[in-house]
Structure 1
């Protein structure tokens, strides 16, 4: 859907973005990860022409974006900011309706869309006529996301969207983000400096440094096949935690023994991470948990030790081991 070629931007003597190239598939969530000043936000802003590149090309659905009027380009791109960017003198309903109003939707259609998004994002209709400063940080961010989604754009750009939230609120919104059908139909490019957030939400991660992409790939590829010392060192301090959250039960399925009596409890889906399975042990303190392989419908009942053994066996088969 998106193709970026040799993109460059200089501010004064600083090369903010230094000739990067990458592509993003339709329906993919690509996260631009890196420390402050690495060029990730500048890259994001060039995609909707908030910043104009010095050189290089960006095409969206085969069309060069410089050949389109900015205002028309942006109507097909949702944009979510770290501090939500809501207009303080507009109510929640007025904020969400901004793009539909620009597109001259009728009032009934706009209201249906607002109500639909409120329900999907777990906001009450009582919030419609309040102002942003009357909402919590998490509620404001949900309204900002609703505004970006209001006209159902195919592409969503998110610049540190959860960076201003406390850890508990951020964790809840992450879960909602992954579960929201509305977002599963979007192509998303997100900027973050939070490694755990990137690995939790991304289909692929582009790790940037000094205006360049050091490596782009799935979270597992960055963890187990780092292309250089920068990538390895960047992830080193959180390596084990990232492995727990990146490796899925499906990944280690062949290493899980089928033993133990199956307990009467809900099944854990194989798409869950090892970390989520460990939390189930932690919170429910069961001797075994049941895991469902959704492809062959097989169920295995495993203990904590068996889960950890399978995790270790999987890791030993990875190239970096």
Structure 2
């Protein structure tokens, strides 16, 4: 859906983006991750021509973006900013209706679509007459997302969309983001400097530094097959948490005992094989089960293991991967 081919951007003597190339298949979420000044936002803005590239080519759905009018190009792309970019003198309804009005939708169609998105984003219809400064940060961010989604564009660009939110609100919106059916049909490129956010929301990650892509791959690729010391150091501080959120119970299946004898008695909990270890540990902390019933629906298998066996398999997995 999106192809960035050897794209560079110079500002005077500064190479802000230096020969960047990547492809994003349809309905994939790609995260551009890195520290401030690494070139990720400049890369994003070149995709909808808010910044013109110095060299290289960018294609969306097989069409060169430089052969299209910028205004027409942007109407087919959803764009979400960190500070939500809402017009302060417009009501919520007027903010969401900006693109439908440019596309000359009739009033009934616009109102129906806005009502649909308000419901999906858990926003009460009474907010439609409110102004942005009357809303919380989380509500404003949801309105910004609604405005980007209203015309149902195939591509969504997001520049630090949750960066201004507090941790509790951000965590809640992350969960909504992953569950929202509207986003499962989109090809998404998101910029963030938040490592946990990148690992939680991205199908693939491009880790950038000094205008270049250092490594591109799945979260597991970056964790367990880092290409150099920069990648290792970038993830070092949060490594254990990232491992727990990246490794699924299914990944450990071959390391879990098939017929473990569980000593003592007590209640157990059901765990899906697709659950990551972080979610499993959270449930175990709250429910304090005596054992875990792990179900693999796809392969129609089941195992009953102790918590100790699960953690032992986790450390064995790390050892096999060379990251004990």
TM-score interval for Structure 1 and Structure 2 normalised by the shorter chain: over 0.9
Distance 2:293 2:166 in 1: 33
Q: Which residue of 2 aligns with 1:303?
A: 306
Q: Which residue of 2 aligns with 1:159?
A: 159
Instruction: Describe how 1:250-265 pairs up with structure 2 within 5 A.
Output: 250-258=250-258, 259=260, 260=262, 263=267
Q: Could you tell me the TM-score, scaled by structure 1's length?
A: 0.95
1:287 shift after superposition = 2.0
Q: CA RMSD in A?
A: 1.6
Unaligned runs of 5+ in 2: none
Distance 1:89 1:263 in 2: 57
Q: Which residue of 1 aligns with 2:102?
A: 102
Question: Deviation string for 1:181-219 (max 9, x for gaps)?
Answer: 111110000000000110111100000000000000001
Unaligned runs of 5+ in 1: none
Contact map agreement 2:268 2:291 (CA 8 A) in 1: no
Distance 1:49 1:294 in 2: 45
1:289 shift after superposition = 3.2
Distance 1:103 1:262 in 2: 62
Contact map agreement 1:262 1:301 (CA 8 A) in 2: no
1:13 shift after superposition = 1.7
Contact map agreement 2:33 2:208 (CA 8 A) in 1: yes
1:133 aligns with 2:133: yes
Q: Could you tell me the TM-score, scaled by structure 2's length?
A: 0.95
Contact map agreement 2:39 2:208 (CA 8 A) in 1: yes
Distance 1:303 1:98 in 2: 55
1:278 aligns with 2:260: no
Change (3 A) 1:113 1:41: same
Mean CA deviation greater in 69-78 or 269-278: 269-278
- 1:88 aligned counterpart, secondary structure: coil
Contact map agreement 1:33 1:193 (CA 8 A) in 2: yes
Determine which of 315, 318, 321 is the counterpart of 2:321: 318
Contact map agreement 1:81 1:159 (CA 8 A) in 2: yes
Instruction: Describe how 1:95-244 pairs up with structure 2 within 5 A.
Output: 95-244=95-244
Distance 1:311 1:181 in 2: 32
1:269 aligns with 2:272: yes
Contact map agreement 1:278 1:304 (CA 8 A) in 2: no
Change (3 A) 1:300 1:129: farther
Distance 1:24 1:319 in 2: 29
Distance 1:105 1:293 in 2: 47
Distance 1:262 1:254 in 2: 25
1:264 shift after superposition = 7.1
1:156 shift after superposition = 0.3
Contact map agreement 2:267 2:289 (CA 8 A) in 1: no
Mean CA deviation greater in 294-303 or 127-136: 294-303
Contact map agreement 1:10 1:17 (CA 8 A) in 2: yes
1:107 shift after superposition = 1.4
Contact map agreement 2:266 2:290 (CA 8 A) in 1: no
Question: Deviation string for 1:226-269 (max 9, x for gaps)?
Answer: 1111111111121111111111122112222354589575x433
